Amino acid sequence: MGQHVLILGGHGKVAQILTRQLLKKSWTVTSVIRAQEQFHQIESLASGQQRLNVLVRSLEDIKSTYSIKKFILISYLACRHKSPSWWDSDAWAYALDMQSGDLSGHCKAKLAADEVLLQNSSLRSDFSGISLRPGMLSDEPAGKVEIGKTKTSRGNVSRASVVDTIVSLLENQNVKSSWLDLLDGDHDVNVSVERIASTGLDAAEGEGN
């Protein structure tokens, strides 16, 4: 059986870039969108024999089975309860500022989802639940990254680099359940993901207790 991915929120910018990239790699993509008027735009992402299914608010059509082996949630790197040991006071102050400002509701929702994934991922040994936590998103081209335990909470990462990272995480069978912070940086995406897989690096340290 070929590789199949389900994308929730398929009309988002990152989701559309991801859909194109996975289709080019011969994955089957099922994209779930919120509104019928988005259907043709998402359908147009496929060409030729590429396998794309578009569902409009059709989660009830998807059976919950143990065939799902990996779940990648897109969160935000400043969403934490505690300052991690690898951040300095300025990094934590910036994170707190983001959590209490215009992004307050966004951060609360993201952090709650991160925690649920962290807790539930421990219930299955054959399941990998990954919270990918980028900084502020940009429309710059894909490039090198800093992934895992980033040195700061402040910074940008391109949507294209986020997609490259998601694809690498999907293709690497050895990445365990974890939180992975993500910024633009100096390291190759695939090399970085392989390092994470081999070391078990996890930015959830201190959270979920």
151-161: average pLDDT = 98
Q: What is the pTM of this model?
A: 0.93
DSSP string, the chain: ---EEEEESTTSHHHHHHHHHHHHTT-EEEEEES-GGGHHHHHTT--TT--EEEEES-GGGS---TT--EEEEE--TT--SS--TTS-HHHHHHHHHHHHTTTHHHHHHHHHHHHHHHHHHTT-TT-EEEEEEE-EEE-PPP--EEEES-S-S--EEEHHHHHHHHHHHHH-TTPPSEEEEEEE-SB-HHHHHHHHHHHT--TTTT---
Q: Would you place residue 62 in the very low, low, confident or very high pLDDT band (cuts 50, 70, 90)?
A: low
With 80 as the cut, is the pLDDT of residue 118 above it?
Answer: yes
pLDDT digits 0-9 by tens, 166-182: 999 999 999 999 999 99
Q: Would you place residue 70 in the very low, low, confident or very high pLDDT band (cuts 50, 70, 90)?
A: very high
Q: Would you place residue 60 in the very low, low, confident or very high pLDDT band (cuts 50, 70, 90)?
A: low
CATH class of the 70-199 domain in this structure = alpha beta
25-38: average pLDDT = 92
